[in-house]
Amino acid sequence: MAISPGSGPETTTNDDRPETDSETDDGAETDGRTGAGDETEAEGGAGAEPSADTRAESEGGLESETAPAAETGTRSARADGTLVWPARYVREHLVHSGVLLFLALYPGIYTLLVNSPLRSELLAVLPEIETMVAVFYFGLFAMSFDFISGYTGYLDFGHAVFYGIGAYVVLLVATGKVPLLPAETPFVLVLVLAGLLAVVFAVLIGAVSFRLTGVYFAMITLGFGQVVYVFVRGWDYVGSNPRDGIAVSERSGFEIGVPFVDSLDLAIGQLTGDELSVLAIELSTTEVSYYMVGLVVVICYFAMQRIIHSPFGRVMIAIRENEQRAAAIGYNTFRYKLGAFAISGFFAAIAGGLFAGFRRTATPDNAFFFLVTGDALLAAIIGGFGTLAGPLYGRLFDEGVREFLSKAGEGGGLLPYLREHLSEAVLGTELLGGMTVQGAIETFLNGHASLYIGALFVLFVLFVPDGLLGTIRARLGGPVGKCLPDRAGEYVPERFERYWKGLER
Amino acid sequence: MTLLDVENVHTYYGESHILEGVSLSVAASEVIALIGRNGVGKTTTLRTILQLTPPREGSVTFRGEDLQGLATNEVARRGIGWIPEERRIYSQLSVAENVRIAVPSDRDADAALKNAYETFPDLERFGDRDAGTLSGGQQQMLALARGLAGENDLLLVDEPSEGLAPRIVAAVADALAAAAEETTLLLVEQNLPLALDLADRFYLLDNGQVIDSGDTDEVRAEDERLRRHLSA
Amino acid sequence: MTFLLTVTIATEVVSLVSELSPLLASGFGLRSPAALAFFPDVTLVALGDALASFLQPVNLFDVFLNGLAKSALYVMIAVGLTLIFGLMGVLNFAHGSFTMIGAYLGGLILVLTVTGTTGGLARIGLFFVGVLVVFGVLAVLGGVLEISLIRPLYDRSPVYQILLTFGLTLVLDELVRIIVSLYGLQPISDWQNAFGTRPAFIARSLDFGPVDVPGLALFQIAFGVVTVGAVWAFLTRTRYGLIVRAGSEDAEMTEALGIDVRRVFTVVFALGAGIAGVAGVLLMWDPVWGASVPLAAETLLPAFVVVIVGGLGTFRGTVVAGILVGMVDAVMTWWFQNAISFTGLPQITIFLILVIVLIARPQGLFGVEGVGGH
């Protein structure tokens, strides 16, 4: 099959995916593999068919499902068997905890570093806190995209519908345009309602679309997405010029926390958010937004991660690897796909709601357009398709590059740095056709991030097709959270172990 | 003189090891039958010769030239034709176009088409029809006509009688016998009497290995020597 | 069916909202109940009047002619995409960018060569010079991109080819944006100077008795017919066309017949890019489209619709679907201009056609199941 990319009758969903290896490590892959191998053999001497090996290779996910006893992952269970639970818990979540700790400290680190002697260099390189908020909510959207497309193999080119629904529900409620819901309805409640509305849409769209596969699925979801986009763009209920979207001016900041309890709520937004001082640390509105949006995103991530690691998630992966086989074993794949779609729609709407809550405005073009889905696709591929956490890092990479190479003005990025540090002589030097160095940097480093992002994306597709996290997983031989402690664990946890055992006595 | 020499080839699909050291040789103007159960690697052997599924180990030599590293179209242009399993005619092309495409230059195409119609008179009536509208037997005839139109020195024929009515099988056998007069045939065939009737020599494959070979005169279809490895 | 249901539900919700609105308006600061309707000012009576007007022969003819012109454009922007998908199974997201580059390049050639005194026929002549140059340049660009970027991906899942062409779109669009801005043009608005190079009889309406016929529409129809004829002749009357059709159906078999299918891939990708560019040159003179950077996305989406509705990879299907979409667009544009004030009406209908066709006949109008890579 070296020549034709798709001459066979098989759909795209059945194609080998590079991330297979890393992913199947999630479950009880040892048992799964052996079982799968036997079965393929037993299936008859049809071993000469090219598809047979794809089948054999692409098992893993399913087998562990048919043998739920093996659910916890044999290898790590065996390795951890000697540890008492707190140590095991710490170990299993070592990487998670590390990342969370870093994220929790980032605003402080940022403030410290940009006040250090290397001030201007670091200002140019480090993403601002405001950028990080965007990384959070859009990263959540990209993760929800990965949840459906990366894990079931169905490319949803209309995913922005759900993001847009989230954003518009929040803004419509806040501008008092939704009957029965006053403008001051608690934000968290509206988020959940928006999520539920997205679930309804996902079920309606999915019920029709999941009868199709491959490019056809991508195209019908694109079609639905554009129908909604064009509708919203002309929907004059939202305002006299629907193309400009909705903006909230009157309502106070959107608060995240326990509804109706003021002391347990913190408002987000750069101008309307709360400030906070804890233990002599002053947090600006942007920093409060960072923590509160981050909190919601982290909760959503763990929820999705739980689902992926549950039997339900393993069926999703099985559908990606070989849907016919999953159906043959007796799963109603249609229901699983629909369920996964609804869940992913829910979280996409939460992401959209956070976006609207922080920015207090959204337009059809930045919430519903198909290129919004395209941005999520970008983040998912760069971060690692089918890795869940990857798209968040992908978005961080994406926004980081965007800020570094194109943001003008207020602090961050390469342009202000060069303006400040290049001498007049250098800046005035003439390059080609009368353009000076200054002219060139003003042209190429100002607002044209898509050029660099696009080029980087092409390079990723060509040379790092598994993305950042996917590649690391392939190197380690499994999810980072599992493998890193396993490797490092050969030395470190022994101490932990003795310590905990000592405590137990 | 040896036309084709397959030496100790190992071929994989992904990680599955399909051919585990197959060797065979074909002399010019011979007819060779490749027999064996379903899934033992007969089709893969043909695909390996064509470099559609290149071997990981071993060599395929055609007229003294090692084919390793050549693209399939280059292998084909050296004079190896393929009449694949399930025919694979172009269903959306007309019958005439199916024959024309196999001829390297448009100038020779008319003559090749005339030739094909002489060999398979049934096809002429349908010349302008989409090949997909033909019956199974007619499609097999077309596949043979396309394979022969390339005027190759070696023709790899995969299961030509599969799924055809007995009357049509006889016609296919006649066509193959006629083809054997002009070219060398390497024939994969489940229909053992037919295979032994057409072929000069046979190779018996099992589990990706040649386990027996010899002159077809030495054996008959009922022989235990073959049946052991052929019945399911 | 489900979609109908969605629409019904949506309508229900709207009517519910409208009923509630007088009660709620005070509490929620609504401006007026009328603001709640999707299509304000539309009543059944008005719709009836509009229908009577629509059915007048003059109006019908007008819509039909506009429809043909739009059909020609839709076929032009989709043909290259269909050829590429049919043969290679690559859904080329960069197709719209090729069209957009063609529009700018064609505009550039005309703006540089046409002066105020250039006669009408000379302008048409220069237009065709532009067409040839643009075809050549984009064919080379397409060929180079195929060899350098897409070729390494043929052994991988088709998803990666989609992704790669998506990335290409970002790069190409942004490059054009930079270049266009350097020359002081606004990348997001149509290039007015390019419109200025139209000969008078194309910019005007021609008077045929009771009906006015826009010269531009006639020109587009003629251009589309010639292009379709040329591509059709290439596919059915030349050996290379035969190879392309054979390769579209079974690339591996074709390779085994001694044909270098990879080289055919390159040629077809170049051809597809070239035709996309030519479509851009045609759009550059049309005030509805015009040369601008967003033209890339504006043409890509309808091209997808046409290609899918026709049946991925079939030339005949693409032509029929192009005509269907063009006609529907023209009808809906008339209704938008005369009766229904919802701006997105033509566009939303086009995407609804896509959705409905995919539900009712997923392989498209002329597609054969299992052919064309999926």
The reply to whether residue A234 touches residue C352, judged by beta carbons under 8 angstroms, is no
The mean pLDDT value of chain C amounts to 85
Domain for residue C9, yes or no?
no
Average pLDDT over residues B76-98: 92
CA A9 to chain C, closest CA, distance in angstroms equals 5
Q: What is the number of domains present in chain C? A: 1
Contact residues, chain B, for A54 at CB < 8 Å: 14
Query: Is pLDDT of A265 > 80?
Result: no
Cα gap C35→A238, rounded to integer Å: 9
Q: Which residue of B has its CA nearest to A16?
A: B14
Place of tokens 């390019």: C194
SS3 B125: helix
Query: Is pLDDT of A427 > 80?
Result: no
With an 8 Å Cβ cutoff, is C258 touching chain A? no
Beta strand segments in C71-209, E: 205-208
Tell me which residues of chain B, numbers 108 to 147, contact chain C at a CB-CB cutoff of 8 Å: 146
Query: Is pLDDT of C35 > 60?
Result: no
Nearest CB neighbour to A448, from listed C5, C88, C174: C174
| Lowest mean pLDDT across A52-56, B168-172, C74-78, C211-215 | A52-56
For a pLDDT cut of 90, what percent of chain C falls above it?
57
CA A56 to chain B, closest CA, distance in angstroms equals 9
B63 versus A48: which is more confidently predicted? B63
Contact residues, chain C, for B84 at CB < 8 Å: 253, 256
Nearest CB neighbour to A52, from listed B16, B37, B72: B16
With an 8 Å Cβ cutoff, is B88 touching chain C? yes
Q: Check residue A95 and give its pLDDT.
A: 79
pLDDT band at C36 (very low <50, low <70, confident <90, very high): very low
Range of the domain at C151: 56-294
CA C312 to chain B, closest CA, distance in angstroms equals 14
With an 8 Å Cβ cutoff, is B92 touching chain C? yes
- Residue C294 near residue C188 (C-beta atoms within 8 A): yes
Nearest CB neighbour to C358, from listed A207, A212, A231: A212
With an 8 Å Cβ cutoff, is C246 touching chain B? yes
CATH code of the domain containing A373: 1.10.3470
Structure tokens at B157: 């024929």
CA B126 to chain C, closest CA, distance in angstroms equals 18
Average pLDDT over residues A291-295: 92
Domain for residue C187, yes or no?
yes
Residue B132: burial class (beta carbons within 10 Å; 0-12, 13-18, 19+): middle
With an 8 Å Cβ cutoff, is C347 touching chain A? yes
Q: Domain B2-230, what architecture? A: 3-Layer(aba) Sandwich (3.40)
Q: Check residue B1 and give its pLDDT.
A: 72
Average pLDDT over residues A183-200: 93
SS3 C230: helix
Average pLDDT over residues A195-219: 93
| pLDDT tens by residue, B115-151 | 888 888 888 888 888 998 988 888 998 999 999 898 8
- Residue A262 near residue A275 (C-beta atoms within 8 A): no
Helix axes C215-237, C239-249, angle to 10 degrees: 80
With an 8 Å Cβ cutoff, is C368 touching chain A? no
With an 8 Å Cβ cutoff, is B43 touching chain A? yes
Q: Check residue C133 and give its pLDDT.
A: 98
Count CB atoms within 10 A of the CB of residue A429: 13
A360 versus C204: which is more confidently predicted? A360
| pLDDT tens by residue, A72-85 | 344 444 444 555 66
Beta strand segments in A186-330, E: 246-247, 254-257, 265-268, 276-278, 281-283
Query: Is pLDDT of A423 > 90?
Result: no
Q: Read off the DSSP letter of residue B161.
A: T
The reply to whether residue C256 touches residue B97, judged by beta carbons under 8 angstroms, is no
Alpha helix locations (H) across C146-288? 158-182, 192-195, 200-203, 215-237, 239-249, 251-256, 261-284
Q: Which residue of B has its CA nearest to C240?
A: B101
Total length of chain C: 374
Nearest CB neighbour to C255, from listed B72, B102, B150: B72
Query: Is pLDDT of A47 > 70?
Result: no
Query: Is pLDDT of C116 > 90?
Result: no
| pLDDT tens by residue, C298-319 | 999 999 999 999 987 789 999 9
Domain for residue A107, yes or no?
no
SS3 B34: strand
CB pairs under 8 A between A and C: 187
| pLDDT tens by residue, C240-287 | 999 999 999 999 999 999 999 999 999 999 999 999 999 999 999 999
Nearest CB neighbour to B90, from listed C246, C258, C261: C246
The reply to whether residue C167 touches residue A5, judged by beta carbons under 8 angstroms, is no
Q: What is the gyration radius of the CA atoms in chain A, in angstroms? A: 25
- Residue A31 near residue A70 (C-beta atoms within 8 A): yes
Q: Which residue of B has its CA nearest to A50?
A: B13
DSSP C286-310: -TTT-S-TTHHHHHHHHHHHHHHHH
pLDDT band at A61 (very low <50, low <70, confident <90, very high): very low
Query: Checking phi first, is residue A245 left (phi over 0); if not, alpha (psi -120 to 50) or beta?
Result: left
Q: What is the gyration radius of the CA atoms in chain C, in angstroms? A: 23
The reply to whether residue B104 touches residue C258, judged by beta carbons under 8 angstroms, is yes
Contact residues, chain A, for B44 at CB < 8 Å: 48
Using the CB atoms, write b or e for C323-343: b if 16+ within 10 Å.
bbbbbbbbbbbbbbeebbebb
Tell me which residues of chain A, numbers 355 to 374, contact chain C at a CB-CB cutoff of 8 Å: 370-371, 374
Average pLDDT over residues A356-373: 94
Q: Check residue A350 and give its pLDDT.
A: 97
C189 versus A169: which is more confidently predicted? A169
- Residue C312 near residue C370 (C-beta atoms within 8 A): no
Contact residues, chain A, for B38 at CB < 8 Å: 44-46, 48
Nearest CB neighbour to A223, from listed C154, C156, C355: C355
Domain for residue C95, yes or no?
yes
Domain for residue C8, yes or no?
no
Cα gap A145→A379, rounded to integer Å: 10
Chain C: partners with 3+ C-beta pairs within 8 Å: A, B
Query: Is pLDDT of B72 > 90?
Result: yes
Instruction: Specify which residues B32 forms β-bridges with.
Output: B186, B201
User: Which of the given ranges, A320-324, A493-497, C219-223, has the highest pLDDT on average?
Assistant: C219-223
Q: Check residue A420 and give its pLDDT.
A: 72
Domain for residue C39, yes or no?
no
Cα gap B42→B55, rounded to integer Å: 14
- Residue C342 near residue C39 (C-beta atoms within 8 A): yes
pLDDT band at C22 (very low <50, low <70, confident <90, very high): very low
CA distances to A12, A477, C65, C93 from A460, rounded to whole Å, are 20, 20, 47, 17
With an 8 Å Cβ cutoff, is C256 touching chain B? yes
pLDDT band at C32 (very low <50, low <70, confident <90, very high): very low
Average pLDDT over residues A170-188: 89
Structure tokens at B211: 């386990």
pLDDT band at B89 (very low <50, low <70, confident <90, very high): very high
| Lowest mean pLDDT across A41-50, A192-201, A239-248, C207-216 | A41-50
SS3 A413: coil
Range of the domain at A277: 127-407+447-465
- Estimate to the nearest angstrom the gap between the alpha carbon of C15 and the chain centroid: 35
